[in-house]
Chains A and B, each alone.
Chain A
Amino acid sequence: MAVITMREAISQALWEEMERDERVIILGEEVGVWGGTYAVTKGFYDHFGPERVRDTPIAEAVIVGAANGAAMAGLRPVAELMTINFAFLAMDQIVNHAAKLRYMFGGQMSVPVVIRAVGGGGRQLGATHSQTPDAIFAHFPGLKVVAPGTPHDAKGLLKAAIRGDDPVLFIEHATLYQFRGEVPDDDYLEPIGVSKVQRQGSDVTVVAYSKTLQHALQAAEQLAQEGIQIEIVDLRSLRPLDMGPVLESFKRTNRAVIVEEGWRSYGVGAEVAARIAEEAFDYMDAPIRRVAQAEVPLPYNQALEQMALPQVDDIVSAVREVL
């Protein structure tokens, strides 16, 4: 097991899949000569060449649209969106095309595309560059939405996304790229649509994913000092959503806190809470609590921005409240 960063894990997944399968190509803004604006594809252009690592114009609709078309015609394109905020410019290609073509044409077409998008706030980039709109994309049947919280899962899930035949939106949190974790040395895949218990505990079920997984793990350390043991279920995929481990845990703890970086209204927490209520109401001993972003466009000022984002202390407080 090597300890590597999230950036290295994602980069390795791409590199290994490109070595493995010539049909895998990368396209996006500054993925080639520049090496990726988050340096994920550094060195790719020189190694794989301009035919496989394609710098595009700044034109998100055609980046995703051309990736969809190339996927329909037999390639396995990985389109990179510099930030998920720009995915709104490609929304129609993501939700009206990638997600629907197989179904709408009676199963004739496959769109094995991966759309990598950098999401999340916390870097003082202002309201239009800091969003966590994961739940919006998870709303659409036909699309798979993956948002890993560890280097291990990032590498295994990205490889699975590239090898799979369905369209995947792969969300990478901008502030996790330097986060380090253990990654197996051999080739491995993580299944899409499978949640994972990242820490065992018996008092409260905490559901998290992506950046909030790391917040939840820190909260667990603090709470453990008070003798409170939380169990952390990492969703990893928002669609398909695997509620199995969440419900199994909830039936033991009878209490749940759901943490997401996006806004509370109509969000991931709302969905998970509703499913718990529908499927495990008899096990509920306390109201379910949601920890989420304040319902404001994220401000530039650092103190204000951090006030709006969910913090470790918010999780700690919410856990205490449900006990």
Chain B
Amino acid sequence: MSLASESSISRFVAIAVTVGGGLSALLIAGCAVQSGAANAPNSSNYDVPGTLPGIHLVSPTAKGEWTQPAGDYANTRFSQLDQINTQNVKGLHLVSTMSTGIPHGHEGQPLVVNNTMYVVTPFPNYLIALDLTKPGSPQKWKYDPHASNRAVGIACCDIVNRGAVYADGKIIYNTLDDHTVAVNAETGQEVWKTVVGNPEIAETETMAPLVAKDVVLVGVSGGELGVRGRLQGLDLKTGKILWRAWSTGSDADVRIGPDFKPFYKKDQGKDLGISTWGPDQWKLGGGTVWGWISYDPALNLIYYGTGNTGPWNEDQRPGDNKWAISIFARDPTTGDAKWAFQVVPHAGWDYDEIMEHILVDMEWNGRMRKLLISTGKTGYVLVLDRETGELLSAEPFQPVTWSHGYDLKTGSPNIDDSKQTHMGKKVTGICPSNIGAKNNQPDAFSPRTGLLYIPAHNICMDFEGTQANYIAGTPYIGAIVLNYTPRGQDQGEFVAWDIARAKKVWSIKEKQLALYSGVLATAGDVVFYGTLDGWFRAVDARNGNMLWQFKTGSGIISNPMTYLGPDGKQYVAVYSGVGGALGSIAFPSISDDDPYAALGAAYAIPQIKKTTVPGGALYVFGF
């Protein structure tokens, strides 16, 4: 299922001419393709029925299968399936379930290819193939990568895995112990296995790879253990590592070359990955890549964000600390950077920006633009021009105290100095907390409503920097953190965000628990998400009316997906199994007596132990 991007684009130009019928369409479309100018096309052959005027999809959205982590390259998590709609969703029933036997955080989502469902479990990272053509969808095979136990002790935030990608007949995913594996999707036989990191220096792998232009893109986790972040490109056929692009260090290491054109002055300069740090600190500086990767086939650029700077104690690392907390645009074949945008310089709050970047072409201030939308830990919805890296908008979707908005001219946040953290000083009332206004659980975007659906939390923190000493392979944090939701306020919020107007349209609040699951939007105008106490919900994409819900066995921190069964019927699948950074507080091993447990998150969410129990099962719903 590799996308022949060039040919489809030229076909689309022809369609644009025919359909649009006007010279302007030809000019605009032609511009976008040939010169990469700021104007985006007026229509797209990826558009789905009911797409709002002025909105165009960048890559094919998921239909019958689900072959990529987000369903599509553009990370919309929008499915064209519409059998399940706002009228009939109340008739949805559980049709199949499968245990993994691993009561830990089940993040990510399954894949569906050729009437087979592929489930990647948390450590020990089994890959289980389920035959959808048979009653009860029995197991076809199970692949065991024999991941090393060494990885369990160094994973910061539970032993999660965020899923796999299908390409070229192979299921490709990462194991916690730093391997990328490619498994024959038919037989379950290992095709290749590549070491992509080193557990001895605390590197782990939790993210879902993406494949663009026959290159497998793999990040790294471990920002709380002095890991130096990077993205690696692997050859799809052989697994051979083609390139590495580090998040700190020299321009050569970061793969910054003559093509690198950051929009803002603050991101321009030579070897900023060294000069914006104290000597040698960049070698342990974090900026890990543990979230989602997007790809724009027309621009032939991949997009991803980097994680927090390390250690959390900012006084140990004076400077802007590039390229932590940055959004990168790169060429997938060479890994070379096209632009970068550091979201927060010298961050003292553990704000990772590894979140999904949703790519969509939209009208913006009267003209079509190629947008990249990022909803981050920082609490802002950032809208960038994905050709240039220009920040077009930054509006908060949750209470924010660490800054007072962004200066779009400089691309810098107006930081509130009273919230700046320091060693030995306890700063109170920082919002959002280090868990973020949202975490890695991804949004969905519907072209039929123009709305972004954000799983958000309203959690603030007190933060005191402490001295951190580096010992390879051990925690390197340097902060005492206490999370809480301000008294009288609700903790979770499912936010429908109007991108064009940059504001909230409606929301569904969760009194005591953060919203910590991914979201799925569908052409039936039904949006699906889960709650930390196990409810799986269907809401009306237009008004947020709760249409249906089902109580699963454990809290949901995974991402719903949808597919067509061999019977031609639409199904929706989701994991139920609480865990991850925030959800691991439900584990028996985390004491509710210690408010600082789970990197400071425990205090915010005492209710989780009372409302959910660890679990690990796949749920499939249908009529």
Same assembly: no
The residues of B with any CB-CB pair to A shorter than 8 Å are none
A interface with B by C-beta (< 8 Å)? none
